[in-house]
A and B are shown apart, each in its own frame.
Chain A
Amino acid sequence: GAVVSQHPSWVICKSGTSVKIECRSLDFQATTMFWYRQFPKQSLMLMATSNEGSKATYEQGVEKDKFLINHASLTLSTLTVTSAHPEDSSFYICSAEGLAVQETQYFGPGTRLLVL
């Protein structure tokens, strides 16, 4: 089946720094990628939808200037958490959907972010 990778899997950073998380579709072209956040014991919450070559669409309540999303190619989307604060500590998951696998989203393994 289709494979989606995320890097890094774990990151610890100091408050005020920026962190970049990569999401790659390894064996298919992802026209759309989704970024989710999951707090402990809660379900996934969609943060934004990213289409290759265009600006991301953010969900209500998600600050686009704080969570920068770039989908520069059909296999790579990045999420940058700018000026991270402890409340940004969470599990960030991406998923990808491609033309050939439309409506099936393939999920990455997730990135655990801890902001000290």
Chain B
Amino acid sequence: KNEVEQSPQNLTAQEGEFITINCSYSVGISALHWLQQHPGGGIVSLFMLSSGKKKHGRLIATINIQEKHSSLHITASHPRDSAVYICARGGEYGNKLVFGAGTILRVKS
């Protein structure tokens, strides 16, 4: 069992739909990261959160420390949101990140 589990593995949505990607982890953490990887490979750090909720544009990330669960939401999805979304936990081993397998999102117009 991976320490960081993401669901779904693949997600296809229509433009404009509200999207949720989930992440569960098995050990206590100091921070949970959400990353975006585009087809070219480059990675962008979207959020780092240790409690509550953060919002940036159409993206919202929430975390429930007690339940060891985080969600990434995309409102009014757009084809340019198509990418792989990866959650990663930091903490136990200091600042090393442990990555989930990623969620492949495709938004169709």
A and B interact physically? yes
Binding site for B on A (CB under 8 A): 32, 34, 38, 42-46, 49, 91, 93, 95, 97, 102-110, 112
Interface residues on B, range: 20 to 34
Specify the main secondary structure of chain A where it touches its partner. strand
Residues of B within 8 A of A102 (CB): 95
Count of A-B contacts judged by CB separation below 8 Å: 50
Interface residues of B, dominant DSSP? strand
Do B99 and A43 touch (CB < 8 A)?
A: yes
- B52 interface contact, C-beta 8 A: no
Q: Which of A93, A107, A112 has the most CB atoms of chain B within a 10 A radius of its CB? A: A107
Chain B positions near chain A (C-beta within 8 angstroms) = 30-31, 33, 35, 40-45, 48, 86, 90, 95-97, 99-102
Inter-chain CA distance A105–B86, complex, in Å, is 14
